[in-house]
Amino acid sequence: MSSENIATVTKMLESLPETAQVQLIEHLREYIASLQNELEWDNLVSKTQNNLI
Contacts of 16 (CB under 8 A, 6+ apart): 24
CA distances from 47 to 4, 40, 42 (A): 35, 11, 9
pLDDT 10s per residue in the chain (53 long)?
689 999 999 999 999 999 999 999 999 999 999 999 999 999 988 888 777 66
pTM, entire model: 0.69
CA–CA separation, 37 vs 43, rounded Å? Answer: 10
CA–CA separation, 35 vs 45, rounded Å? Answer: 15
